[in-house]
């Protein structure tokens, strides 16, 4: 789950909440927020302010009852809408004054963004620059910003404009004045048009290619013809002249784009062609690196034997962890332990020191009979709190390194946090059902806090049982060792109850939910997975039928009780399918059982090699995280990691083949 996606400008939270609160099964706001203790019902004062906020959003300012607004902790939200409605005619001084008074709230940056957009649309460039604080986020506002800079800092405007120009697709219409001026003044010349055209061609943006082609002068007809020759016949790259375009500047971008397509269409033939023409190509070091990195990556992913020698020669020069990783993983798949050892040792130290690489170095040394070296590598890996650190600890009989750095705060310290304006706004927004805005305020508060402040906020959120906000505080505050905050006991009794009913380890269930949603009960993924355990509606419907329950609505999946019950049953089905094996079941929960069945048909038989050879990086990392998180949850609950194992003895000894699949 991406926590940042819940940061939304004023207005969105209320619309979302009206959908949620209209559902009868949600009996308290606390369920939405991850609170075990529901908040008090909205008071008449809260209801009056909610009405005022709705009027402000609708620009019914004359209907606002000022008695409900004046002195209210959320008064700034009314002022925000009033000032926003006056843009672009509100003065920069008014905007800056608002921002200064609300500097500890997301309202300040929202107002800056609104002012930049409004001033930019109406050509109030001096006003825009007065309220800006460097380059804003987002292409549209950046275009307004650089357009405003044209008259007083043309060099910076040109540099920024060229970055915005060099994209494969269309840009916002806000960029048109900037691009037109830079085109008129020769900054965006035919070469820049050609370079963007090649980006569009490589990305398959045919209409953009045609549009840009029409902007080129007659000097570029030979280059245009060369691109047409290469389109669908990338092998012709060996016959294309290098003196294309005005001054011969077209070839580099053309060849990089052509190789982009060639590598994907036929990696082996692409490398053969590259080796012939590369020495004669007038490319920059950056362009050459881009092509060769592409060639190496596809050669390794597609495991092309004839390309391996070239790849092995280039890896050190390319200095890319993902390429070293792929090379090592291919050797792990083949059981080529000498090569595994070779490639870990060839990695730069900034990569090879990680627990994962040290674990595999230990496996290689152990398989090669180098027992002392293996133990030394595993000892180095065992200091980390992750899947491979735990596996390494098991190899040498060492206790897991949890590396905890928790901190406790007394009631007085937490009460002090509760009195801060930001936290008061969070609570007030919760009380009027503005969940999106409450999260935005919380995220902003954590982002502005120092280390000590982030710790206090995390502790306060945990005390309130705001579990997703607790987790977010550790992420934004980088409190990686604050385990009681990173892995809070969210809905632990429910996980235990439904885990017992389904015959599933509750710590496994909590680990799944922590990885899936970071304990946000209303999380929704881009593909529609919902709730704590991120159930797809179709999966939830099937599981409900199997349990003899009515099909839950999409919104009902935001109810933790419903979501945990169905998720527990579904992971039980996956465990049954894979003979109780949690590694395979976790992979299936993420990627689907059909894929896992196929992977088991073509995978190394050993448990650690099975995980490392999962083709999807997302699923590979998911399985490792879930098993490691399970260790942490159980260790926190017991107060010790003694007796806790990341992988059971049975899972270590099971052969990872299709025999693992129970086809009943």
Contact 482, 406 (CB under 8 A): yes
Q: Name the β-bridge partners of 192.
A: none
pLDDT, tens digit (0-9, with 9 covering 90-100), for 133-142:
999 999 999 9
What is the DSSP secondary structure assignment for residue 566, as one 8-state letter?
A: H
DSSP 556: G
Instruction: Check pLDDT > 70 for residue 43.
Output: no
User: Please, are residues 457 and 477 in contact by the beta-carbon 8 Å criterion?
Assistant: yes
- Residue 530: phi and psi, rounded to 5, are -130, 150
* Side-chain half-sphere exposure of 203, counting CA atoms within 13 A: 15
246: confidence class by pLDDT, cuts 50, 70, 90: confident
What does the radius of gyration of the chain's CA atoms come to, in whole angstroms? Answer: 29
- The per-residue pLDDT for range 354-400, each reduced to its tens digit, is 999 999 999 999 999 999 999 999 999 999 999 999 999 999 999 99
Instruction: Tell the burial category of 92 from Cβ atoms under 10 Å away from its Cβ (0-12, 13-18, 19+).
Output: middle
The model carries a pTM of 0.89
Q: Residue 265: count other Cβ atoms within 10 Å of its Cβ.
A: 13
pLDDT at 75 over 50: yes
| Cα–Cα nearest to 561, from 38, 41, 36 | 36
560 has a pLDDT exceeding 80? yes
- Higher per-residue pLDDT: 590 or 15: 590
Token pair 């971008």 in the structure block, residue: 253
- Supply the pLDDT for residue 664: 65
Output the pLDDT for position 232. 81
Q: Does 24 score more than 50 pLDDT?
A: no
pLDDT score for 603:
87
Query: How do residues 119-138 score in pLDDT, each as one tens digit?
Result: 999 999 999 999 999 999 99
3-state helix, strand, coil in the chain (%, to 5): 70, 0, 30
Alpha-carbon span 357 to 355, nearest angstrom: 6
Q: How far is CA 288 from CA 242, 274, 278, in A?
A: 15, 10, 8
Task: Enumerate residues 6+ apart whose C-beta is below 8 A from 389.
Answer: 355, 359, 381, 382, 383, 400, 401
Q: Give the chain's mean pLDDT.
A: 92
pLDDT at residue 615 greater than cutoff 90? yes
- CA 490, CA 424: separation in Å to the nearest integer? 23
Q: 531 is written with which tokens?
A: 């709730």
Active site residue 516: yes
* pLDDT tens digits along 457-504: 999 999 999 999 999 999 999 999 999 999 999 999 999 999 999 999
Give the pLDDT confidence of 173-184 residue by residue, as tens digits. Answer: 999 999 999 999
The active-site residue, picked from 516, 573, 606, 634, is 516
User: Are 359 and 388 contacting, i.e. CB atoms less than 8 angstroms apart?
Assistant: yes
- Model confidence at 45, in pLDDT bands (50, 70, 90)? confident
> Mean pLDDT throughout 212-226?
93
């Amino acid at each position: 789950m991406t926590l940042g996606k819940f940061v939304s400008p004023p207005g969105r939270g209320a619309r979302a909440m009206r959908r949620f609160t209209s559902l009868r099964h949600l009996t308290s706001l606390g369920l939405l927020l991850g609170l075990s203790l529901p908040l008090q019902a909205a008071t008449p004062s809260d209801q009056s302010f909610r009405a005022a906020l709705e009027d402000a959003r609708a620009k019914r300012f004359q209907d606002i009852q000022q008695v409900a607004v004046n002195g209210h902790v959320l008064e700034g939200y009314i002022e925000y809408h009033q000032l926003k409605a006056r843009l672009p005619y509100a003065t920069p001084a008014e905007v800056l004054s608002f921002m200064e008074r609300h500097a500890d709230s997301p309202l300040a940056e929202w107002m800056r963004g609104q002012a930049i957009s409004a001033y930019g649309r109406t050509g109030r460039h001096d006003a825009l620059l007065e309220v800006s604080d460097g380059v804003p986020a987002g292409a549209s506002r950046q275009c307004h910003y650089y357009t405003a800079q044209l008259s007083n800092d043309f060099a910076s405007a040109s540099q920024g404009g060229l970055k915005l120009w060099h994209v494969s697709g269309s840009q916002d219409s806000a960029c048109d004045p900037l691009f037109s001026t830079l085109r008129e003044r020769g900054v965006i010349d035919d070469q820049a048009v050609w370079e963007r055209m090649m980006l569009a061609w490589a990305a398959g943006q045919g209409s953009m290619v045609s549009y840009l082609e029409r902007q080129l002068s007659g000097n570029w007809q030979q280059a245009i013809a060369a691109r047409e020759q290469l389109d669908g016949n990338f092998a012709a790259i060996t016959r294309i002249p290098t003196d294309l375009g005005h001054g011969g500047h077209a070839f580099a971008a053309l060849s990089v784009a052509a190789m982009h397509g060639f590598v994907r269409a036929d990696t082996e033939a692409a490398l053969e062609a590259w080796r012939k023409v590369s020495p004669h190509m007038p490319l920059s070091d950056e362009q050459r690196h881009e092509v060769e990195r592409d060639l190496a990556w596809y050669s390794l992913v597609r495991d092309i034997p004839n390309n391996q020698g070239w790849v092995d020669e280039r890896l050190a020069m390319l200095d890319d962890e993902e390429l070293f990783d792929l090379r090592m993983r291919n050797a792990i798949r083949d059981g080529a332990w000498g090569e595994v050892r070779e490639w870990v040792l060839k990695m730069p130290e900034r990569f090879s020191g990680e627990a994962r690489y040290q674990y595999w170095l230990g496996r290689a040394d152990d398989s090669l009979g180098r027992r002392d070296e293996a133990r030394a590598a595993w000892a180095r890996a065992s200091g980390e709190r992750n899947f491979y650190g735990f596996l390494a600890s098991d190899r040498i009989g060492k206790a897991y390194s949890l590396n905890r750095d928790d901190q406790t705060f007394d009631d007085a310290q937490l009460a002090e946090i509760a009195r801060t304006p930001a936290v008061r706004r969070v609570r007030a927004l919760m009380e009027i059902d503005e969940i999106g805005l409450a999260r935005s305020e919380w995220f902003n508060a954590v982002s502005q806090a120092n280390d000590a402040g982030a710790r206090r906020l995390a502790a306060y959120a945990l005390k309130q049982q705001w579990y997703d906000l607790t987790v977010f505080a550790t992420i934004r505050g980088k409190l990686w060792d604050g385990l009681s905050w990173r892995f809070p006991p969210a809905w632990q009794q429910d996980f235990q109850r439904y885990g017992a009913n389904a015959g599933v380890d509750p710590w496994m269930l909590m680990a799944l939910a922590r990885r899936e949603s970071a304990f946000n009960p209303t999380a929704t993924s881009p593909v529609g997975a919902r709730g704590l355990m991120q159930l797809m509606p179709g999966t939830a419907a099937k599981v409900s039928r199997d349990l003899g329950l009515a099909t839950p609505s999409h919104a009902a999946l935001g109810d933790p009780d419903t979501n945990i019950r169905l998720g527990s049953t579904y992971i039980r089905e996956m465990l049954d399918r894979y003979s109780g094996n949690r590694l395979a079941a976790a992979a299936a929960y993420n990627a689907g059982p059909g894929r896992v069945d196929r992977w088991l048909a073509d995978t190394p038989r050993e448990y650690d090699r099975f995980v490392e050879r999962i083709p999807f990086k997302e699923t590979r990392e998911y399985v490792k995280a879930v098993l490691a998180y399970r260790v942490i949850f159980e260790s926190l609950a017991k107060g010790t990691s003694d007796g806790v194992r990341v992988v059971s003895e049975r899972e270590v000894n099971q052969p990872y083949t299709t025999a693992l699949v129970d086809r009943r």
